[in-house]
Amino acid sequence: MRTPQVVVVMGVAGTGKTTIGPLLAARLGVPYAEGDDFHPQANIDKMSAGVPLEDADRWPWLEAIGHWAHGRAGLGGVASSSALKRSYRDRLRAVAPGVVFLHLTGDRELIADRMSHRQGHFMPTALLDSQFATLEPLEPDEAGVAVDVSGSPEEITARAVRALEAFSDTSE
C-alpha cells in the first residue's frame, strides 16, 4: 500500500492554489491547509499595501507550513504555498523532507484575468509581475510535477491527480 503524499500546491498568485488545493485534498481523501492562514499579520498588511514580501518575511511562514506538512508525514495532506523560489522549497523540505510539489502554471494574461475577478483577497494584481520575476520553476531533481491551469477547476484537479499518480509510480 502506497504511503499518502503530503503535497504543496505552489505557483504565482492567481493560479488557483486556494481553489485547487481543497479539491485535490478531497479527491485524495486528506486534509487541506490554506497557506495564507500561516502568514503573520505583518505579511498580510505588507501585501495588502502592495509591497512585495522579502525573504526574511517568508522564512517563518514557510517554516510554519513545513511544520504542518511534517505533522502529516505518512498520513497525507495538501497545503498551499507560493513556494516561488528553490530556496523556499528547500526551506519547506528541510522541515518536511518527503513533501511533493504541485506547480500550477499558466500564462500571465490568464492569471491576471482570474486575479481581477476575485474578491476579498489581500494580494493585488499589481504584485503579479513581481511574482513572475521571483518564480523559479521546479528543477528536475525536485520532487514534484507541473500542471497547466487552463480549464475548469475540476479539469485542473483531474490533471493534477493523474500527474501526481504518475510521479508516485515513477518515484517508488
Query: DSSP label at 89?
Result: H
pLDDT in tens, 73-129: 999 999 999 999 999 999 999 999 999 999 999 988 878 777 665 555 445 555 678
Q: Quote the CA–CA distance of 82 and 100 in Å, as a whole number.
A: 14
State the pTM of this model: 0.88
Per-residue pLDDT for 150 more than 70?
A: yes
Written as one string, the DSSP assignment of the chain is: -PPPPEEEEE-STTSSHHHHHHHHHHHHT--EE-GGGGS-HHHHHHHHTTPPPPHHHHHHHHHHHHHHHHHTTTT-EEEE----SHHHHHHHHHHSTT-EEEEEE--HHHHHHHHHH--S-SS-GGGHHHHHHH--PPPTTSSEEEEE--S-HHHHHHHHHHHHHHHHHHH-
Q: What mean pLDDT do residues 11-24 have? A: 92
For residue 48, name the pLDDT band (cuts at 50, 70, 90).
confident
Q: In what order do the strands lie in the sheet with 6-10?
A: 32-33, 77-80, 6-10, 100-105, 144-148
Q: Cα–chain-centroid distance for residue 21?
A: 8
